[in-house]
Amino acid sequence: MDSLLGKTTEELERLVQEMDHPAYRGRQIAAWIYRRGAETFEAMTDLPRELRMRLAERYVVGTLPVVRRHVAQDGTIKYLLALSDGQMIESVYLPYPDRVSVCLSTQVGCPAGCRFCATAQGGFARNLTAGEIVGQLLRMQSESARRISHAVYMGMGEPLWNYDNVVRSLRLLGREMGLSLRNLTVSTVGVVPGIRALARENLPITLALSLHAPDDVLRAELIPTARKWRLEEILDACAEYARVTGRNLTFEYLLIGGVNDSPEQARRLAHLLESKHLPGNVNLIPFNFVDTPQGYRCPSRASIARFREELERAGRVTTQRMTRGHAIAAACGQLRRIVTGGADARPEGAIPLPLSC
């Protein structure tokens, strides 16, 4: 049966009118789904019983059941959620003193093939619908006493390879659920056509570029699909995005010990961004251990500090991803691999690590 989750208020109005009910019933259904978190039609108590019965015959609300949840001492919760076709996706609940953020997936698996990512090792199955993307936030909100105000599209998948559903979900989070679009962040490995298209959507969101290397050769080793677009093309698209939207970007940089964490690479990274006159901060993300064929390892605290110092010396605002969820397999794809039999090992004495999603 078709899911109502993912439909706009206007679409729900037309749906009930086709069932010979007034349009305002559609607005009531939208409020029940997006504002009140109803999971069944029976819960929509201000609808006529006859309408609820007819809806239940043809539709489902479309909420996502929890397969497994892992809770960390810092309040981070990693969710494994089931989809209607039996596939599973991951989402992360991230409480902070001043806000609650969530990390959302956009695909089942990921076709980007990043060498350091557990999701990539699991392959790619399909895109998520807009309803399945929004449904992740609704599931986590249903279990949270605090209101979720921020969302980052940094979970499983490459958002801009699921462009239409991602844009639709952003509009749903804004219009239907009341989140500020300025509190939403979409991450990409550098899908140039998607970046240019997103610039013209009139969505005041933040775009985050997963950079991870200061040159094309190393970047192609870390992100095989990066070979499709050179860094110059990607950064030109980012510059267009900043110019059209007036929004600064965030540049995500995953630090892998002995691979891309040297002071010289930090200097080259700063020069690369400055050469394109790109505004925005660099967000450093120490590698969250995943057992890879390449044997990637965590960076030392000293190398992280040196890398950051070089960027700041070059005048680049630099942040570092807060340590969250290292005890609950919170990096993208880890929990799904554990449940499906591809568990990641964590080396004895591994330092606390932040999310890699």
Dist. CA 164–CA 10, nearest whole Å: 18
Structure-token pair, residue 334: 């880890």
Instruction: Give Cα separations from 299 to 152, 263, 281, 287, 288 (angstroms).
Output: 24, 13, 20, 7, 10
Structure-token pair, residue 4: 């109502």
Per the annotation, the verdict on 90 as an active-site residue is yes
CB atoms within 10 A of CB 44: 20
Residue tagged active-site, from 90, 158, 252, 310 = 90
Positive or negative, the CA dihedral 54, 55, 57, 58 is positive
Q: Are 309 and 315 in contact, with CB atoms under 8 Å apart?
A: no
Residue tagged active-site, from 114, 117, 238, 332 = 332
Helix (H) or strand (E) holding 77: strand 77-82
Dist. CA 168–CA 229, nearest whole Å: 26
Dist. CA 321–CA 284, nearest whole Å: 6
Question: Exposure of 46 by Cβ count < 10 A (0-12 exposed, 13-18 middle, 19+ buried)?
Answer: exposed
Please give the positions annotated as active site: 90, 332
